Amino acid sequence: AQRVTQPEKLLSVFKGAPVELKCNYSYSGSPELFWYVQYSRQRLQLLLRHISRESIKGFTADLNKGETSFHLKKPFAQEEDSAMYYCALSGRNTGNQFYFGTGTSLTVIP
């Protein structure tokens, strides 16, 4: 069965410190993985997707099929990174729906 696990509900880091938001998934086949972000009082928005291999707002994420992980990383956290982050999975076996994790609330302490 498809599943996305974000083990940390809350994560706090100091400004300038590295940050890693964990995402593990369960999927048979080749998944597409995404990170979505929701800033305070704003809508969910796409941050990045693994197939584009981009760095958005300094964030990167690498798909590790061996560990079935797609952790989101940033070397130096900024206060404006404080938000709710959701990992999501899609693929041929999921039909047309995305499976979302329960989210991690990141707080960057000034």
Indicate whether 100 belongs to the interface with other proteins (CB under 8 A). yes
Q: Per-residue x/- marks for other proteins, 68-87, CB under 8 A?
A: ------------------x-
- Could you give the CA distance from residue 27 to residue 93 in angstroms, rounded to a whole number? 8
Q: How far is the CB of 46 from other proteins (least distance, A)?
A: 4
What phi and psi, each to the nearest 5 degrees, are found at residue 105? -90, 115
Residue (40 or 110) nearer to other proteins, CB: 40
Indicate whether 96 belongs to the interface with other proteins (CB under 8 A). yes
**What are the residues whose beta carbons fall under 8 Å from the beta carbon of 29, sequence distance 6 or more?**
91, 92, 93
Is residue 34 within 8 A of residue 12, CB to CB? The reply is no
Q: Which residues bind other proteins (CB under 8 A)?
A: 4, 9, 32, 34, 36, 42-46, 49, 86, 88, 90, 95-103
